[in-house]
Amino acid sequence: MLASAMPLNTPPRRIPLIICIDVEPDDRRIDPSVPRDWFGFEETWNRLQQLRQSLAEAIGPVRFSWFLRMDPQVKETYGSADWVFTRYTEHFRDMDRLSDEIGLHPHAWRWSESEQNWVSDFADPQWVEHCIRMSFASFEDCFKRSCRCFRFGDRWMNNRIMKLVDSLGAQFDLTIEPGYGPERIPESSTAELPDYTMAPRSCYRPSRANYLRPGNRFFRRNVWVIPVSTVAVNRASTPLTVESLDRHLSSVGETYEGNFEHAEPGGLWGWVWNQEKPDETVCIDVFENANHIGTYAAEFFRADLLHAGKGSGAHGFRVPAPKLRTGETQEIRIKCAGTEFELGNSPRYISDSSRPEDYVTMNLACEATLFRRLFDALVGSNDERMLTFVLRTDSVLAPSTASSIERNLAYIMSHPLSGQFEITTPPEALRILRG
């Protein structure tokens, strides 16, 4: 009757964790007249070396994946595309000794004389190809081997780029971030970023006709696509249970302050705190057309709240919006749980929209409470057999994000499933999955 069940002596599945560290200048739009050292990379390297032994003791051997900038922006600013290698040669020798992966992370920045600044020129395919070819050539000159792991900057990808990356010998592409719709980067750019709302979440070899679809054995590329792990932000917040609610009920008569900042089908955002008890976690009641639909904890850290003097800053909320039918509009009110105190800008109204869910990329510099929630959502999913995180090296330069990085790595080490995790490189991760 239980013939299809897993045998009792079957070992637990191994869960590969890939940590993609983007080795970059400390500023995205760097001043070409002031070629500063990459202090973020120096500090990231030092901190991760200090943590490597602790991670190894908790989960086994640790191998990071480092992705280097060797593109025209680097060449124009520092005089050579391979500047990072010549400046930090000893670091890369240590990476090789430790069996870390070293790959490429070019950007499409192009200097604009009219703007006197950098512009991401995605719209010019010849320029994008130039950036990639320069990077691969510089890598091979420095390391005397072909680059096998690639991540294009700002998650830019299309069929033409995938074909080029494949032809240049890359074995793994880690560019795609599933769930994100088309949008422009905050700085100047010449095109929208690709639409990844329907991108696969598991690794695959792409079709020659469509890089966002697995190809059959006769019509696919050699390169493996490993999508970066992303999670719908709504999975970070679940309604409180009766037991947990008893510990968090707000008190009538307390002095609350808060604001219902944003409402759309993708979620409800805002903040609230108790001015008399600044370290207390305040909960909110969410009402849809006067009907109570859930109680949530406002517990996410926001640097802007801390800087504004709102207690510890851990008073933000971002919770799911109610599902809407086509053509429907709903009134949403938010109050402090168990009270009649209504947040500023409440009520708000949301209407049916074709906008996709909001997604969060699994960045190791992410606020720690949010990271823990999203990490647990991924690990608890049977569909996620490999997790891929990102980290930009300048993240350690801000105290708040530097603290988040250490707290998030500590959470991975202390997780109940830590014995099944393996921080490893893309080639090894694929071998684990296939073996």
How far is it, in rounded angstroms, from Cα 47 to Cα 403?
Answer: 11
pLDDT at residue 4, rounded to an integer: 34
pLDDT at residue 3, rounded to an integer: 36
pLDDT at residue 235, rounded to an integer: 78
Are both 72 and 204 inside the same structural domain?
A: yes
pLDDT at residue 384, rounded to an integer: 65
Are both 189 and 97 inside the same structural domain?
A: yes
Are both 303 and 289 inside the same structural domain?
A: yes
Per the structure, the count of domains in the chain is: 2
Q: Would residue 9 count as lying in a domain? A: no
CA distances from 106 to 79, 85, 149, 366, 383 (A): 16, 14, 12, 23, 30
Are both 160 and 45 inside the same structural domain?
A: yes
Q: Would residue 366 count as lying in a domain? A: yes
pLDDT by residue for the chain (435 residues), tens only, comes to: 333 333 444 556 789 999 999 999 999 999 999 999 999 999 999 999 999 999 999 998 999 999 999 999 999 999 999 999 999 999 999 999 999 999 999 999 999 999 999 999 999 999 999 999 999 999 999 999 999 999 999 999 999 999 999 999 999 999 999 999 999 998 999 999 999 999 999 999 999 999 999 999 899 999 999 999 999 887 777 778 765 665 555 555 678 999 999 888 878 989 999 998 998 899 999 999 989 988 999 988 888 898 899 988 889 998 888 877 767 888 999 999 988 999 999 999 988 655 567 789 999 999 998 899 899 989 887 666 899 999 999 999 999 899 999 999 999 999 999 999 999 999 999 999 887
Give the end of a domain, one of 351, 371, 390. 351
Q: Would residue 106 count as lying in a domain? A: yes
Are both 223 and 271 inside the same structural domain?
A: no
Are both 151 and 38 inside the same structural domain?
A: yes
Are both 65 and 190 inside the same structural domain?
A: yes
Give the end of a domain, one of 316, 351, 386. 351
Are both 142 and 58 inside the same structural domain?
A: yes
CA distances from 261 to 258, 293, 334 (A): 9, 19, 11
Give the end of a domain, one of 311, 326, 351. 351
Owning domain of residue 22: 15-229+362-434
Are both 366 and 426 inside the same structural domain?
A: yes
Q: Would residue 329 count as lying in a domain? A: yes
Q: Would residue 7 count as lying in a domain? A: no
**Residue 97, domain CATH:** 3.20.20.370
Distance of CA 192 to the CA centre of its chain: 19
> pTM of the full predicted structure?
0.86
Q: Would residue 402 count as lying in a domain? A: yes
Distance of CA 323 to the CA centre of its chain: 26
pLDDT at residue 246, rounded to an integer: 56
**Residue 345, domain CATH:** 2.60.40
Q: Would residue 391 count as lying in a domain? A: yes
pLDDT at residue 319, rounded to an integer: 87
CA distances from 86 to 143, 174, 265 (A): 11, 25, 49
Q: Identify which of 406, 254, 277, 266 has the alpha carbon closest to the alpha carbon of residue 322.
A: 266
Are both 409 and 272 inside the same structural domain?
A: no
Q: Would residue 6 count as lying in a domain? A: no
Are both 240 and 386 inside the same structural domain?
A: no
Are both 241 and 265 inside the same structural domain?
A: yes
